[in-house]
């Protein structure tokens, strides 16, 4: 098996998970949609959501029907842009 295949098959690290969550949050999802769009379970998602809220990368909203949605802060937008560029560069350098 080639190195590029190993990289593509490996599990996501924390940076990749944060990137996926921030990308999903860009669409102001509910928690359920955020979990499904980020491809993780609720237990893991809650840990990351609390972390991202604490670091002021996302913010939480509640509507009139008490549904919770999430949105990116300016810091979150900046981090998402950086991680997206890094992912693009990484794939460019290591693709076949």
Q: What is the pLDDT at residue 96?
A: 62
CATH number for region 3-94:
1.10.10.10
Each domain of the chain, given as residue ranges in start order, spans 3-94
Among candidate residues 66, 23, 27, the one with its CA nearest the CA of residue 48? 23
Distance CA 68, CA 62 (A): 4
Q: What is the pLDDT at residue 6?
A: 47
Mean pLDDT per 10-residue interval, the chain, length 96 residues: 48 88 93 90 93 97 88 97 92 77
**How does DSSP assign 41-89, residue by residue?**
-HHHHHHHHHHHHHTTSEEEEE-TT--EEEEE-HHHHHHHHHHHHHHHH
Is the pTM higher than 0.85? The answer reads no
Q: What is the pLDDT of residues 45-61, one digit of tens each?
A: 999 999 999 999 999 99
Q: What is the pLDDT at residue 10?
A: 55
């Amino acid at each position: 098996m080639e190195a590029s295949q190993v990289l593509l098959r490996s599990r996501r690290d924390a940076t990749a998970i944060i990137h996926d969550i921030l990308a999903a949050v860009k669409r102001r999802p509910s928690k359920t949609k955020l979990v499904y769009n980020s491809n993780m379970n609720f237990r893991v998602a809650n840990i990351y959501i609390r972390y991202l809220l604490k670091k002021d990368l996302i913010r939480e909203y509640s509507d009139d029907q008490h549904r919770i949605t999430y949105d990116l802060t300016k810091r979150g937008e900046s981090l998402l842009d950086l991680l997206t560029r890094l992912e693009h560069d990484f794939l460019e350098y290591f693709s076949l």
